[in-house]
Amino acid sequence: MPASLRQMLHERHHLPLVDEANVEAFLAPTPAAPPHSALFFAGDPRERPETRDLAVILPQLLQAFAGRLRGALVAADAEPALKERFCVRVLPSLVILRDAEILGVLPKVYDWADYVARIEAMLHPDAPALVAKSGPRTQIAFASRETAP
């Protein structure tokens, strides 16, 4: 994400930058802060034009869910290390969390009504956490052939 876009989100909308060193502190809210948060994994907007769209949508979402959802930008150099931890496969993505528990990943860009409905469902107290699959996504098995001498 160009520095000007990242800087604008940081300065104008007071969105903190998180990386491996401080993401835990961000995810552990103060008593006055809502437990739900959104992490913005932007990627490179030269490769992914949707990044600019999501950069405009995110502050609007935070305003729509004011007092219930807080946001942060994942630092560009921290994205590779944090993508796997937060189940991000596609950039850009928003990861919605309750404390450090992943509730969902919203890749690319959605219609406004879809964002509102999906996030509202994730903010419900009974919303289930996303369970990351363990192990390889693809398994290749080779059959051995026995040849007669």
Number of domains within the chain: 1
Please report whether residue 143 resides in a domain. no
pLDDT greater than 80 at residue 4: no
Would you place residue 12 in the very low, low, confident or very high pLDDT band (cuts 50, 70, 90)?
confident
98, 121 contact by CB (below 8 A): no
105, 133 contact by CB (below 8 A): no
pLDDT greater than 90 at residue 60: yes
80, burial (CB in 10 Å: exposed 0-12, middle 13-18, buried 19+): exposed
For the segment 110-132, what is each residue's pLDDT rounded down to a tens digit? 999 999 999 999 999 999 998 76
- Could you tell me the residue range of the domain that residue 50 belongs to? 3-123
Please report whether residue 137 resides in a domain. no
The segment with the largest mean pLDDT, out of 19-28, 43-52, 128-137, 140-149, is 19-28
pLDDT greater than 60 at residue 57: yes
Q: Is 99 left (phi over 0), alpha (psi -120 to 50) or beta?
A: left
Please report whether residue 144 resides in a domain. no
Per-residue pLDDT averaged across 90-95, rounded? 96
CATH number of the domain to which 84 belongs:
3.40.30.10
Q: Which residue, among 128, 125, 120, has the nearest Cα to 61 in the 3D structure?
A: 120
Least reliable range by pLDDT among 22-26, 37-41, 137-141: 137-141
pLDDT greater than 90 at residue 67: yes
